[in-house]
A = this chain, B = another copy of it.
Amino acid sequence: MLSKQLVAASLQPIVLTILSRGEAYGYEIMQRALDLSNGQLVWTAGTLYPLMHRLEAKGLISSAWHPSESGPRRKYYRITSKGQTVLEADKKEWINVHAILMNLWGPELAIA
């Protein structure tokens, strides 16, 4: 289980990256993140849905309800052009901080 703060720092970039590959609904995003991380990114619904609402309020994603053939209706999200821009900035920031840490921790960790 990852620390709360690392989860916090990686949540927005991961959601935006998933949506940059095509629309998806909340529950689906949660499960994709779980798969992508081999079970490490364990988000709960109480983490994901408020995040999606915040991202939408910031204009980084948009949403639309669609019925499901088997089960409750789903709210599908798409990334906006603003969201794409923010994602690119997030990537740069992450790489940036990673470089600082690798510099601190030495080259032997850079391979891992």
Residues of A within 8 A of B (CB): 2-3, 5-6, 8-10, 12-14, 17, 36-37, 40-41, 90-91, 93-101, 103-105, 109, 112
Contacts and interface: CB of A to CB of B under 8 A. Distances in A.
Count this chain's copies in the assembly: 2
A99 B2 CA distance: 13
Contacts of A105: 17, 91
Contacts of A37: 100
A14 B109 contact: no
12 contacts: A2-B96, A2-B97, A3-B90, A5-B8, A5-B9, A5-B12, A6-B97, A17-B104, A36-B100, A40-B96, A40-B100, A98-B98
A3 B12 CA distance: 11
Contact of A91 (B3, B41, B96, B109): B109
A105 to B, nearest CB: 6
A8 B8 contact: yes
A109 B93 contact: no
